[in-house]
Amino acid sequence: MSTAAISEENGLIDPHGGVLIDLLSDRTRAKELEADALSLRQWVLTPRQLCDIEQILTGAFSPLAGFMGRADYEGVRDEMRLVDGTLWPMPIVLDLPESVATSLSDGDRLALIHPEGVLVAILNVSDVWMPDKVEEAVKVFGTKDEFHPGVNSLLNQTDDYYVGGSLEGVRASQHHTYPEMRHTPAQLRALFEDMGWSKIVAFQTRNPMHRAHVELTRRAAEQVSANLLIHPVVGLTKPGDVEYHTRVRCYRAVLDGYEDDSATLSLLQLAMRMGGPREAVWHAIVRKNYGCTHFIVGRDHAGPGNDRDGNPFYGPYDAQYLVEDYRDELGIEVVTFQEVVYDGTRDLYVTRDELDEDSKVMNLSGTELRDRLESGAEIPEWFSYPSVIRELRKSYPAMGERGFNIYISGTSSTANSSLGNALAEMLLEDGSRPVTLLDDSALTLETIDLVAREASRNGGAVVSVAPNSENRGDSTGNVGTGSGVFLSVRQGDSVDSEGEADVAVGSDNSPGQGADMVMRRLTDLGLISKRS
């Protein structure tokens, strides 16, 4: 077993590389940088870049002092090593489009801007290069299959050039929510000292926590005689995850399941890559920088799901194995666990190796939980806490309470408008929701998407008529879905020739008949009550 390096100065574990990086400038220097930025080339940071730069500037990514240059990038990609030999598993790079990247060279400075218009940092450029992103995908993620969300992001959403260099920070973040639960590594270390905590086990999650998670984390803390840090990711996670505001309310609720002063909650603005084993090593390093002495690595840590053939990208315990391989070098103790399940016979949670022949394993899968939330069905108290379920139900309203968007396209703009008007009138007669009709030739598809998304997200019914330029094409994706339900309606002589539309209205149907067909579909889905 390794011995974590403990700083004699404050009794906490040393950060990775020995020094906690802090790249935020004092007030005087920050004003100078803001003045300099006015005459520099500027780049507005993407959501992923915003997450990365916050962790770099505050020291969560220590020992990194900027975005990786080419030598560090290639060392990490190929060997999980920085140039100086320090263990680091995940490339942290600034991707830029060719038009910006090729205008930069060694020694240039680039102002990095928050989307709200304020300066975050200035990058002192050292390297500009065009990486082989397929090679990166294979070496970092073990696959080039775009079903892997990290690979999909890398190959389809990442710009073609990387720019490396050191950073001078002005502000690490521009958050407007949960200030009492957001901490830099230095702040969290200070909090641990104030509470008298010297042994801290961190729990990483991107999902709501239920009773099984509480049992697992309790066991982990008791096993190593440590206090618990619940450290959920609220940056970028896996597409389709529960949005983070709901999750934060759930995390607050589960704190009541722990003994007083045994656990605390802090939010981590991290952009996950869903990189499985490599990501687990990365997460351990980050928690070490935040002052944690132990880190829980559970089953399928940071797993991205299944490949295009339905097979998991990584084995359920691959992440644990890789972290164990680097245990001595990481310096943070890893706490590994099997899956925790509910034994209905004994009315308690146990690990799978604690089951006996009389045990009755009971569980709800994620799909089953979502189905119960959506249908309003009961969720057993052995699975989760009533306070958590109440919060989740707010994000999973019953079908009769959900918003929806009906997108009408076809060969005739006039027929589309007539169908839209008839449908809007019938929905107004139904009276269960506010109704918005988007039918104006001047509206772009982007405008329709934005308005419909917001209206349906807030429980409204939206009838969207395709702009003239879109009428002869297929239904254009799930326009304006938001968190609501999307239905495509196609009208005309050759409707639904390949089954693309949810409702097909023939040219021989009147607007009223077509609208009635859509209303019956809405009734079948449980979105509206049966018409009398």
Residue 474 CB partners (closer than 8 Å, separation 6+): 409, 500
CA distance 507 to 494: 9
pLDDT of residue 272: 97
SS3 label, residue 341: strand
pLDDT of residue 362: 93
Q: State yes or no: pLDDT of 199 exceeds 80.
A: yes
Active-site residue (options: 46, 58, 86, 205): 205
Mean pLDDT, the chain, whole residue set: 90
Active-site residue (options: 10, 143, 207, 421): 207
Higher pLDDT, 111 or 373: 111
Percent of the residues in the chain that have a pLDDT greater than 90, as a whole number: 74
DSSP 82-142: -TTS-B--S---EEE-HHHHTT--TT-EEEEE-TTS-EEEEEEEEEEE---HHHHIIIIIS
**Both 332 and 470 in a single domain?**
no
CA distance 100 to 41: 9
Identify each DSSP E strand in 130-226 by its residue range: 161-169, 200-203
**Both 50 and 152 in a single domain?**
yes
Percent of the residues in the chain that have a pLDDT greater than 70, as a whole number: 93
pLDDT of residue 264: 97
Tens of pLDDT, residues 216-236: 999 999 999 999 999 999 999
**Both 403 and 490 in a single domain?**
yes
pLDDT of residue 411: 81
Residue with tokens 């019914």: 461
Task: Indicate the helix (H) or strand (E) that contains 40.
Answer: none
Q: State yes or no: pLDDT of 385 exceeds 50.
A: yes
Domain end among 108, 135, 169: 169
The first and second tokens of residue 400, run together, are 């009769």
CA distance 466 to 478: 12
Position 394 confidence tier, pLDDT thresholds 50, 70, 90: confident
Annotated active-site residue 207? The verdict is: yes
CA distance 41 to 33: 13
CA distance 425 to 512: 10
Phi, psi at residue 462, to the nearest 5°? -120, 130
Annotated active-site residue 206? The verdict is: yes
Position 484 confidence tier, pLDDT thresholds 50, 70, 90: low
Position 493 confidence tier, pLDDT thresholds 50, 70, 90: low
Phi, psi at residue 191, to the nearest 5°? -65, -40
**Both 190 and 163 in a single domain?**
no
Over residues 194-199, the mean pLDDT reads: 95
Q: Are 461 and 474 in contact (CB under 8 A)?
A: no
Over residues 419-445, the mean pLDDT reads: 91
Tens of pLDDT, residues 310-369: 999 999 999 999 999 999 999 999 998 778 899 999 999 998 889 999 999 998 887 788
Position 291 confidence tier, pLDDT thresholds 50, 70, 90: very high
**Both 199 and 332 in a single domain?**
yes
pLDDT of residue 12: 85
pTM for the whole thing?
0.83
Annotated active-site residue 363? The verdict is: no
Over residues 280-306, the mean pLDDT reads: 95
Tens of pLDDT, residues 104-153: 999 999 999 999 999 999 999 999 999 999 999 999 999 999 999 999 99
pLDDT of residue 479: 55
109: CATH: 3.10.400.10
Tens of pLDDT, residues 21-38: 999 999 999 999 999 999
**Both 215 and 245 in a single domain?**
yes
- Residue 414 placed within a domain: yes
Phi, psi at residue 43, to the nearest 5°? -135, 130
pLDDT of residue 57: 98
Split into its structural domains, the chain has a count of 3
- Residue 19 placed within a domain: no
**Both 250 and 149 in a single domain?**
no
- Residue 362 placed within a domain: no
CA distance 105 to 124: 10
- Report which DSSP code applies to 475: -
Position 239 confidence tier, pLDDT thresholds 50, 70, 90: confident
CA distance 143 to 307: 9
Tell me which residue range forms the domain holding 417: 399-524
Active-site residue (options: 206, 273, 287, 402): 206
CA distance 295 to 287: 7
**Both 278 and 163 in a single domain?**
no
**Nearest one of 290, 272, 277 to 336, comparing CA atoms:** 277
The DSSP bridge pattern shows strands 109-113 and 94-96 to be unpaired
Alpha helices in 158-210 (DSSP H): 185-195
